[in-house]
Amino acid sequence: MSLQLRVRNRELRELVYAAPSKIHGTGVFARQELKKGDYIGTYHGPTASRNGTYVLWVYDTDDEANAIGRSGKNLLRYLNHKIPGNAEFDGFDLYARVRIAVNEEITFNYEPT
């Protein structure tokens, strides 16, 4: 069974919404309860060649030279940083790291692990 990707905002809005955050500016919040391991969505946008606002870099810890960046254009660009976050990326795909309640802000640790 293949995973139905959530890339566009209309697809993401089934599970999440953007709203003012107590952490910083705008955040992403759960529209429905998410269980540990649930796929939330895919960080989507054009490839980035340098760092900037809403750029997410993906790389192996021991291979930073081959990092791939995306300049976020969907709702996931509003994810905020928290240690530990309640979600985590596998590549550009975001998953719930723990149970996330309805209306809880979805966060991830910006620092590489």
Across the chain, which has 113 residues, the per-10-residue mean pLDDT values are 81 96 98 98 95 90 85 97 96 97 97 70
Domains and CATH numbers, the chain: 9-108 (2.170.270.10)
- Predicted pLDDT of residue 61: 77
How far, in Å, are 7, 22, 47, 65, 110 from residue 85 at the CA level?
A: 21, 15, 25, 25, 9
Position 112 scores a pLDDT of: 67
pTM of the entire structure?
A: 0.92
| Measured distance CA(22)–CA(20) in Å, rounded | 7
Max Cα-Cα span within the chain:
38
The reported pLDDT for the residue numbered 65 is 82
